[in-house]
Amino acid sequence: MSNYHIKHLEEYFKVYRKSVREPEIFWEEIAEEHFLWRKRWNKVLSWDFQKPEIKWFEGAKLNITENCIDRHLVTKGEKTAILFEPNNPDEEAQHISYNELYKKVNRFANVLKDEGIKKGDRVCIYLPMIPELAVSVLACARIGAIHSVVFAGFSSTALSTRINDSDCKMVITSDGSFRGAKTIDLKSIVDEALEDCPDVNSVLVAKRIHSEVTMKAGRDKWLQTLLDNASSECAPELMDAEDPLFILYTSGSTGKPKGMVHTTAGYMVYTAYTFKNMFQYKENDVYWCTADIGWITGHSYIVYGPLANGATTVMFEGVPSYPDFGRFWEIIQKHKVNQFYTAPTAIRALAKEKLDFVEKYDLSSLKVIGSVGEPINEEAWHWYNDNIGKRKSPVIDTWWQTETGGIMISPIPYVTPTIPTYATLPFIGVQPAIMDEAGNELKGNQVEGRLCIKFPWPSIARTIWGNHQRYKETYFTTYKDNYFTGDGALRDATGYYRITGRVDDVIIVSGHNLGTAPIEDAINEHPAVAESAIVGFPHDIKGNALYGYVILKETGNTRDHDNLRKEINQLITEHIGPIAKLNKIQFTEGLPKTRSGKIMRRILRKIACGDTSNLGDTSTLLNPEVVERIIEEKI
Ligand code: WTA
């Protein structure tokens, strides 16, 4: 009996119970029936959350690209695998069939080999949302190289930090990118980054905007020329189940970004299985996720999950506002999109515009509409449900993380009844726990606390690249024998989960996770700045915006504060990228600190939100008087 496709609520409960009672038998059946293995595993699961060490399907051999491409060729070689919709609506969309994808990936894989890339080498991919991005990801996987995709909105400093952290040998980029009416000069960002990356000896450059770029002799090569000369056959490298597939960086509460490592077999099984169920994907459906492949949502639900199911996956190069605010809806009509997956920040931005932008288009092809990346507020949920789903296509509010690899808590459309703002029930095999601050599990319903997961699922990240100790401390020490998510959650009277937001110093701005430390480091580079602290405050489109408290070196500094604000944001743009710019900057003379010198962000957060009525006990502060002053000075 296959439990691969869940269609009713009773079936969900039955399969869920099985996945918890007999996880190994359950996952073994899923793995056995739905994937192509070159050698079977010896053991389904071994795990120890203390060490921590997690292994799924140990001993198995496979290649994920055989599962995502080769095995579909006999039955759906001519089916569109990737449907590329360019930034400019006047440029023709590209339908890349599975047969064509096979050739493109193999050619690219051969180019990587010719350039000296071998199994286990790290390759950094810094590309816009063009087909070469998906193809280069798959080409790495074909030969067992570990891809590290860096979102092409990050600055050169952010790029070089990531390249060096995982010691990438090669960078794949393009001359530039189109984003709405703008073009961005990606190659020169790479050139700048590489001044600090001595180990990168090869740069492959795709042509997209046909701009003049400088090519460094011996290092930089035009991708197309190499592809033209490469064979379209490349035998897949046989990978161990636990061989790393990719590294993807995510922000932490403190310190530099964490290179989360995902491995091959478990990641493949879980992303494929969740994709099938979350989107109730049926043959001939056209599926579209608007995320960028630079984020985990793009890895799991544009590339690997859909392709492992032989689906048609749309890749959109542009932005929701270009040429106007109807672009998303126009694309849905044009390609008869059946499943649509986007972020609350995009929904909120589009909900602000006139409804004409939506009503002009025929959205009747839609069957499922999803949300991911941050809590979706009630108003946005209803707007999405009423105007896009037309109260027929269920809204799935999917909670998960870079670290979890795939969707963890979410309604299954047409299976789980939905309630606005609730991620509802755990997916098959996921065992959530809600904890109090003392570390006790809050059992039963109607409880609120911190969200942990008690038992491993196949696509949990296995480590942080080069820093297993940090992996252990971040995720497995706060709550013994549990994976700690960093999120708060409640479980209501019916057992439904609602995610309440981060409980650490990660701030989600427009769906992007930002750690406070790197932003503060960037600000502190300004010669006039002595110290700074960043907190989040609610913003009606971004979800959260950033509020910076900045202490200047010279008190009573006569320099123009508006200029300083601009310079500070410029520094942040250079060090991280425009996504991390501050919405508000308050110059102040002190920051509330504990006696051990830690900044009390809780207080700063409340002040930034304008909620100063109940600041809690400030008497234990080193400098309680500073709080009053900050409130008075508030802009
Ligand atoms: C938040 C994105 C509420 C959460 C896939 C999580 C959400 C962080 C939801 C991970 C949701 C994601 N409801 N919060 N449906 N989805 N989050 O790593 O705080 O970019 O920990 O992965 O986003 O963000 P990441």
Asked whether residue 516 falls in the same domain as residue 459, the answer is no
Q: What pLDDT is stored for residue 179 in this prediction?
A: 96
Whether the pLDDT of residue 556 is over 70: the answer is no
- C-alpha dihedral over 481, 54, 165, 399, to 10 degrees? -70
Would residue 512 count as lying in a domain?
A: yes
Of all protein residues, whose CA lies closest to atom 14 belonging to ligand 1?
374
Asked whether residue 511 falls in the same domain as residue 565, the answer is yes
Q: What pLDDT is stored for residue 268 in this prediction?
A: 98
Asked whether residue 458 falls in the same domain as residue 529, the answer is no
Residue 557 pLDDT class (50, 70, 90 cuts) = low
250 Cα nearest atom in ligand 1: 18
354 burial (CB, 10 Å; 0-12 / 13-18 / 19+) is exposed
Tens of pLDDT, residue by residue over 39-49, are 999 999 999 99
Lowest mean pLDDT among 66-70, 111-115, 380-384, 589-593: 589-593
Total number of domains constituting the chain? 2
401 Cα nearest atom in ligand 1: 22
- C-alpha dihedral over 222, 225, 228, 230, to 10 degrees? -70
Q: Which of 154, 396, 399 to mutate to test the pocket of ligand 1 (most atoms within 8 A of CB)?
A: 399
Asked whether residue 193 falls in the same domain as residue 299, the answer is yes
Would residue 384 count as lying in a domain?
A: no
Residues flanking ligand 1, CB < 6 Å: 250, 295-297, 372-375, 397-402, 423, 485-487, 499, 502, 508, 513
Asked whether residue 117 falls in the same domain as residue 237, the answer is yes
Residue 401 CA to ligand 1 center (angstroms) comes to: 5
Supply the pTM of this predicted model.
0.95
Q: What pLDDT is stored for residue 219 in this prediction?
A: 98
Whether the pLDDT of residue 1 is over 60: the answer is no
Asked whether residue 456 falls in the same domain as residue 521, the answer is no
* End-to-end C-alpha distance for the chain, whole angstroms: 63
Of all protein residues, whose CA lies closest to atom 22 belonging to ligand 1?
401
Tens of pLDDT, residue by residue over 526-539, are 999 999 999 999 99
Sign of CA dihedral 369, 371, 377, 380: negative
Of all protein residues, whose CA lies closest to atom 10 belonging to ligand 1?
401
- Spatial contact of 139 and 147, defined as CB atoms under 8 Å apart: no
Tens of pLDDT, residue by residue over 425-481, are 999 999 999 999 999 999 999 999 999 999 999 999 999 999 999 999 999 999 999
The mean pLDDT value for 200-224 works out to 97
Alpha helices by DSSP H, listed for 49-155, are 64-68, 73-76, 98-114, 131-143
Asked whether residue 70 falls in the same domain as residue 217, the answer is yes
Whether the pLDDT of residue 635 is over 80: the answer is no
Residue 599 pLDDT class (50, 70, 90 cuts) = confident
Asked whether residue 519 falls in the same domain as residue 456, the answer is no
Would residue 531 count as lying in a domain?
A: yes
Residue 147 CA to ligand 1 center (angstroms) comes to: 22
Q: What pLDDT is stored for residue 254 in this prediction?
A: 75
Q: Which of 293, 372, 510 to mutate to test the pocket of ligand 1 (most atoms within 8 A of CB)?
A: 372
> Would you state the structure tokens that stand for residue 331, as one six-digit string?
């694309």
Task: Read off the CATH number of the domain in which 529 is found.
Answer: 3.30.300.30
Tens of pLDDT, residue by residue over 468-523, are 999 999 999 999 999 999 999 999 999 999 999 999 889 999 999 999 988 999 99
Residue 333 pLDDT class (50, 70, 90 cuts) = very high
| Interatomic CA distance for residues 635 and 409, integer angstroms | 39
Residue 443 CA to ligand 1 center (angstroms) comes to: 23
Asked whether residue 121 falls in the same domain as residue 200, the answer is yes
Please provide the average confidence, as pLDDT, over all residues in the chain. 96
502 Cα nearest atom in ligand 1: 19
The mean pLDDT value for 79-89 works out to 98
Would residue 490 count as lying in a domain?
A: no
Residue 108 pLDDT class (50, 70, 90 cuts) = very high
Of all protein residues, whose CA lies closest to atom 1 belonging to ligand 1?
374
409 Cα nearest atom in ligand 1: 15
Task: Read off the CATH number of the domain in which 156 is found.
Answer: 3.40.50.12780
Residue 486 CA to ligand 1 center (angstroms) comes to: 10
Residue 372 CA to ligand 1 center (angstroms) comes to: 7
Residue with tokens 């946005």: 380
Would residue 419 count as lying in a domain?
A: yes
Q: What pLDDT is stored for residue 18 in this prediction?
A: 97
List phi, psi (to 5°) of 161.
-60, -45
Report which secondary-structure segment, H or E, holds 446: none
Of all protein residues, whose CA lies closest to atom 15 belonging to ligand 1?
399
Count of positions (residues) in the chain: 635
Would residue 360 count as lying in a domain?
A: no
Asked whether residue 428 falls in the same domain as residue 565, the answer is no
Tens of pLDDT, residue by residue over 222-273, are 999 999 999 999 999 999 999 999 999 998 877 789 999 999 999 999 999 9
Residue 290 CA to ligand 1 center (angstroms) comes to: 15
Would residue 200 count as lying in a domain?
A: yes
Residues of the domain holding 577: 506-633
Residue 437 CA to ligand 1 center (angstroms) comes to: 21
Alpha helices by DSSP H, listed for 169-262, are 186-194, 223-228
**pLDDT more than 70, % of the chain:** 99
Asked whether residue 471 falls in the same domain as residue 616, the answer is no
**pLDDT more than 90, % of the chain:** 91
506 Cα nearest atom in ligand 1: 19
Residue 540 CA to ligand 1 center (angstroms) comes to: 18
The mean pLDDT value for 546-566 works out to 86
Could you please report the per-residue DSSP string of 544-567?
Answer: EEEEEEEEESSTT--S-HHHHHHH
Tens of pLDDT, residue by residue over 285-305, are 999 999 999 999 999 999 999
Residue 496 CA to ligand 1 center (angstroms) comes to: 17
Residue 399 CA to ligand 1 center (angstroms) comes to: 6
- Spatial contact of 47 and 140, defined as CB atoms under 8 Å apart: no
Find, among 357, 363, 298, the residue nearest to 322 by Cα: 357
Residue 555 pLDDT class (50, 70, 90 cuts) = low
Of all protein residues, whose CA lies closest to atom 11 belonging to ligand 1?
399
Quote the crossing angle between the two packed helices 9-21 and 23-34, to the nearest 10°. Answer: 110
Would residue 88 count as lying in a domain?
A: yes
The mean pLDDT value for 155-176 works out to 97
397 Cα nearest atom in ligand 1: 15
Q: Which of 267, 270, 369, 400 to mutate to test the pocket of ligand 1 (most atoms within 8 A of CB)?
A: 400
Asked whether residue 417 falls in the same domain as residue 536, the answer is no
| Interatomic CA distance for residues 174 and 187, integer angstroms | 6
The mean pLDDT value for 543-553 works out to 95
Residue 528 CA to ligand 1 center (angstroms) comes to: 36
